[in-house]
Structure 1
Amino acid sequence: MNLKHIISEYKWQFLLMLILILLDAGLLILFPLFIGYAIDDALIKGYQGAICLGLLGLATLLVGAGRRFYDSRFYAKVYERLGAKIGDQPDKSASIKTAHLRFLTEVVEFFENSIPEIINNSIGLIGTLVIIANLNLQIFTGCIINLFVILIVYGVTGKRTTRFNSSYNNELERQVTVVSDNHPISLRRHLNKLMKWNIKLSDLETVNFSIIWLFMMAFLVVSIVVAIGEGGISYGTVFSLVLYLFQFIETTVVMPIFYQQWLRLTEIINRIKHV
């Protein structure tokens, strides 16, 4: 299976999805700003800000729902086509074919669910940084420092993640054969090996996440103190800044998970690339 070939074959469908994803991301990033405007407007007994916030919510719903209706039908077609090719391989055992169908499900789910989230989070991260830089340069500097910390943590552990995924997938390809042998001891040994690699992956992610979370919480506390200490800005602006800080933290915590999914996806594609 060659991803470039798939994207080339369905280029117009992918282009339409990309446009919808970008539009959805652009609308989502406006929410904290519109909430701040609505608060400032409400403090002077105005309702225009609240109405604009409601219209933004409606537009986001229409774009997001339309994209999801389209995505599910398109990726179902891609899965059916590639799945049939995996099944039509006489040189592969039933165990390997079954494992590869499961791998294909992960690939399709990554494109359907994770790719939109990656684009949304990437645009959200860039937009959030631009807005924070305009609201408070000190907090923006703190954001950049935290991004470097994340890159270092996950960059150091990337090869280990790939190695654990490879070992897990090697064992998974044996599953149907082990089950077919109907030998309880062999099955238990197989499941034990699967869970061993699964636990290693989970432990590595937990350690990485814990390190990042500690940095983020320290950064959040300091940033709120800095924001409140600034004079001459409205309550709505302070509230918007805090919301953008939460959005920055949420995005930066989630993005490394997508990176780990991509590492696993790359390992899987190397296994089924000849489909």
Structure 2
Amino acid sequence: MNTNLEKTLRHIFSNYRGSILLTYGLTLLENLFELIHPLTIGIAINGLLKQSYGSMMPFAAAWLVHALLSVFRQIYDTRIFSRIYTNLATSTVLEQTKQGISFSQIAARSSLSREFVSFFERDIPEIINSLFGFVGALVMLFIYDWQIGFYCLLLLLPLSIVNYAYFRRTRSLHQRLNNQLESEVSVLSCQQPDAIQFHYKALAKWRIQLSNAEAMTWLILEIFIVGVFATMLIRTVIVLGAKTGDIYAIISYTWNYRQSLDRVPFLVQQFNLLQDIGSRISGGSPI
């Protein structure tokens, strides 16, 4: 990991360790309840088919607790991470000013520093969600049927290859985009129509290329996912002849597994972005 990136992230975490760990604990609990949703709904379906209304209780209880946890975590997160960004942006501006950095670069970097806070506020929870969706769903699928679990596990091979190529591509694109962003204030201050138009066209160009790279990565992965999903449906409905509730649960866990894989390109792009910002914001204490 980039030294400046690691230094900044470590400094933020050490200053706000208790608050950050609390929000991650709440995120873990949310994911635990979300993981058991397909199981409890499957139990409810099988029970209702036998006229057993008591089978609805685990489903209703898990859903309500999950909703309350989500609301509390969202309220808490907003307060904590807004305070962290306020301190980080202020420190970044003051430190960069001492170093004699141009006003244009300072303005851009104070805005880019928001990405460090987003790493803790959005990216780490995304990683937790992805791991829960991946490991949790995979374990549940192996419990229902080992062959379905094995088919899903095979998706890791194309996932690794495609996302490695995506990582290399987006690294250079983020560097070019942030170079352009750092020149924004100086370009606007010149008030030259041609220069301003060129600046915003360049920004659009790099953002479009980043979006295109993400879309193509997603498309390639979806081709493999469709094949696995079709195989799972055939095996569950025709070969296994599973109960209605179990069919629902298996489909839901496979879908959750697929969603966890969809998050990987976004996380790869964010890691590249943070590495580039970390190489720009250096020197002195981050906060």
Interval of TM-score (by shorter of Structure 1 and Structure 2): over 0.9
Distance in 2 (CA, whole Å) between partners of 1:105 and 1:5 is 15
> Is 2:180 the counterpart of 1:171?
yes
Q: Structure 1 stretches of 5 or more lacking a match?
A: none
Partner residue, 2:260:
251
Matching residue of 1:142: 151
Q: For this pair of structures, how many residues does the alignment match?
A: 275
Return 44-53 or 178-187, whichever deviates more: 44-53
- Offset from partner CA, 1:64-94 (integer Å, 9 cap, x none): 1111111111111111111111221321222
1 or 2 for the larger relative contact order (CA 8 Å, sep ≥6)? 2
Give me the whole-angstrom Cα distance separating, in 2, the residues matched to 1:108 and 1:231: 47
Give the alignment partner of residue 26 of structure 2, picking from 20, 27, 36. Answer: 20
The aligned runs of 1:1-275 (5 Å cut-off) are 2-88=8-94, 89-90=96-97, 91-231=100-240, 233-274=242-283, 275=286
Q: Name structure 2 gaps, 5 residues minimum.
A: 1-6
TM-score by structure 2 length?
0.91
Following superposition, the deviation at residue 257 of structure 1 comes to 1.5
TM norm structure 1: 0.95
Separation (CA, whole Å) in 2 of partners of 1:134 and 1:219: 17
RMSD over equivalenced CA pairs, Å: 1.5
Equivalent residues of 2:89, 2:111 under 8 A apart: no
Cα shift at 1:125: 1.2
Runs (4 or more) in structure 1 with deviation over 4 Å come to none
Deviation at 1:232, TM superposition (A): 5.6
Q: CA deviation at 1:51?
A: 2.1
Deviation at 1:228, TM superposition (A): 0.9
Distance 2:15 2:55 in 1: 45
Of 124-133 and 261-270, more deviation after overlay is shown by: 261-270
Deviations 1:146-200 (A, max 9, x none): 1221111011231221111001100110001100100001111111211121122
